[in-house]
Structure formats: structure tokens, C-alpha cells
Amino acid sequence: MTLVCGATGYTGKYVVSALLRSGIGVRCLVRNPAKRAALAGLDVEVVIGDLERSGDVEAALKDVEMFVNVAHIRFASSLVPLLEGSDIRRSVFFSSTWGLSRFLIPEVRAVLDGEKALASSSLDSVILRPSMIYGPGDDRNISRLRGFVSRSWVMPIFGSGNQLVQPVYVTDVADAVVACLKREDIAGRTYEIAGGHPITYSSMIDILCRLTGKTILKVYVPLFLALPLLHLAAAIVPSLKVRVDQIRRMKEDRAFDITAAVDDLGYQPMAFDRGVALAIDSGEKRAT
């Protein structure tokens, strides 16, 4: 039996499905009872409880051999002592490629702190660092960018557009989790889980345009102009969705070495254009 935390989230549902397909029994710790509907039709055991309540976690860990945390890695520090006191023989924690950023913003520090908690523990654990996850439905990443492309005639691109990105399809991430649970000799390792190969941000927009049948005007905004304007906008509108630190991070190449995952986990991620085509096709099938 495997306990999954974060099972009702976007990626979590795919992780649960992949585990079930591989013959692994699943128990899900769910905080909000209303979100049980996200697991409808899946042969899983649902336990209502809060990841931040040690008693709830301890009860959910009873008779469990493996643990998968799809929730934020910031919970690692509180989970480690509970897992060390359990019968768990392998745990898999989701981290993020944010941890590789040179900009030490709060999100990056939270990721690094979570990874440090695992590194200093006695757990047989594996860390997965997915890049930007996308797929069918609202992935909160590429789906929203695709929606913007389909509705607009102009696309502002901060910087040169030559920065590298490497989004990963959600089922590739889920399959990597299964591989981590089945491979015994990888305790303590960390894997970057990204798409098949990096592409430029501008190329990513071109692919989205081609697959959605749209023509869009790309307007390149130099970062030295964008940052002061966003600082001003953020001061005026605190709820601004595009944050200054997110734009600053666009200076970075977000390309990652997936060799270790390929070698150890048999990881074979799909190319971005194929993944987007699958996501679009899935959405069209649901609409009919």
C-alpha cells in the first residue's frame, strides 16, 4: 500500500492513476472532503485528514509501505520524523526545478529547505524535481498560455525570447514516480524531470500558435524596461498576477539535464509539440 498526499491536485490525480495501473494499492490523505470527487472512479482508499496534523498523518501511515508526497516539499520538515517512526521503506517527494534557480526568492528558499530536511534524514527517499508541468485541462501553466494565444492577437515576450524552457507532460511525471517506487537502489538520489529537450520561449509560443491554428504578433519587451514598469504596477496593484520576481527569472535558461532519470528510471519524456497536441486532443474529446 502507498500513501499519497496531494492526490486531489492536478498532478496528484495522474500519479494515483499511474500507481493503480502498475498494480500498486493506493491510500489518499485528503484534507477537504469535497475534493474526494477528484478521485471518483478510482479504486483507492480515502482518508480524511490534514497533512499538517501529525495525528492525521500517523493514522494514515498505518499498514503503509511506501509514501508519495505530491504536495509542496515545504512539508518535508514536519513529515520526516513521522515517516522515520513508521514502517515506510521508500518515500518519493516532489520538489521543483525552482530549487536550481540563482534567484533566492521565497519560493526557491522553501524548496531548498524542504530538500535539506530530507537530505539530513535517515529516510530511504527519492526527490523528483519536475519542471513546468502541463497536460490536459487546466494545468495552470501551458493551458493558460495556450488560452491567451487563442484569444489574443499580440503576445508580449519579456527579454529576447531565446531563454530555454523544458516543460514536462504530466503523465511522464507520473510514470517517473512509479519507477522510483520500483527501483530499489536509488535511495537518496534527486532527479530532474523535464521534457524531452529544451526549446526557446519564442519557439514554445510558435508551437502553441501552430497547434491552435492562430497567428499572433510577438512583441519583445526588453527586461530593463519591463522590470521598472512591473515594480510600479505591483506597487499600485498588489494583486497583480505577473510578479516582478517571475519576470526577473526569465533571464534564466530553464533547461535541465535529465540523463540520470533516463539512465536510472527508464525515463522517456515526450517532445513539447507532441504533448501539447495530446492535451488539445484530450480537451476536444471531453467537449464532445
Domain assignment of residue 187, yes or no: no
Mean of all residue pLDDT scores within the chain: 93
Whether the CB-CB separation of 174 and 9 falls below 8 Å is answered with: no
Residue 42 lies in a domain: yes
Position 113 pLDDT exceeds 80 = yes
In one-letter notation, the amino acid at residue 279 is A
What is the four-CA torsion angle of 209, 215, 219, 223, rounded to 10 degrees? 0
Per-residue confidence band for 110, with pLDDT thresholds at 50, 70 and 90:
very high
Instruction: Give CA–CA dist 258/267, Å, rounded.
Output: 8
Q: Render pLDDT for 2-31 as a digit per residue (tens, 0 to 9).
A: 999 999 999 999 999 999 999 999 999 999
The pLDDT tens digits of the residues spanning 171-192 come to: 999 999 999 999 999 999 999 9
Burial class (CB in 10 A: 0-12, 13-18, 19+), 285: exposed
C-alpha count within 13 angstroms, C-beta hemisphere, residue 146: 24
Q: List pLDDT tens digits, range 116-128.
A: 999 999 999 999 9
- Is there a domain that residue 239 lies in? no
Which region holds residue 194: left if phi is over 0, alpha if psi is between -120 and 50, else beta? beta
Instruction: Please tell me the predicted confidence (pLDDT) of residue 46.
Output: 97
Burial group, residue 182, by CB count within 10 angstroms (0-12, 13-18, 19+)? middle
Range of the domain at 93: 2-130
Is 22 contained in some domain?
yes
pLDDT for 230 equals 75
154 domain residue, yes or no: no
DSSP string, the chain: -EEEESTTSHHHHHHHHHHHHTT--EEEEES-GGGGGGGTTS--EEEE--TT-HHHHHHHTTT--EEEE-S-GGGHHHHHHHHHTS---EEEEE--GGGG-SS--HHHHHHHHHHHHHHTS---EEEEEE-SEE-SS--SSHHHHHHHHHH-SEEEEES-S--EE--EEHHHHHHHHHHHHH-STTTT-EEEE--SS-EEHHHHHHHHHHHHT---EEEEE-HHHHHHHHHHHHHH-TT-SS-HHHHHHTTS------HHHHHHH---PPPHHHHHHHHHHHHHHHH-
**What percent of the chain is modeled with pLDDT above 70?**
94
Least confident of 57-61, 71-75, 196-200, 218-222: 218-222
Is 169 contained in some domain?
no
Q: Average the pLDDT over 46-53 and give the result.
A: 96
- Total structural domains within the chain: 1
Contact 165, 255 (CB under 8 A): yes
Q: Which pLDDT value is given to residue 284? A: 60
Whether 270 maps to a domain, the answer reads no
pLDDT digits (tens, 9 = 90+) for 224-246: 887 787 777 767 777 666 666 66
Residue 2: all three cell numbers together? 502507498
Per-residue pLDDT tens for 257-278? 999 999 999 999 999 999 999 9
Q: How many CB atoms lie within 10 A of CB 218?
A: 14
Of the pLDDT bands very low, low, confident and very high (cuts 50, 70, 90), residue 288 is: very low
CATH value at residue 16: 3.40.50.720
Is residue 49 within 8 Å of 28, Cβ to Cβ? Answer: no
Whether pTM > 0.85 for this model: the answer is: yes
110 within domain boundaries: yes
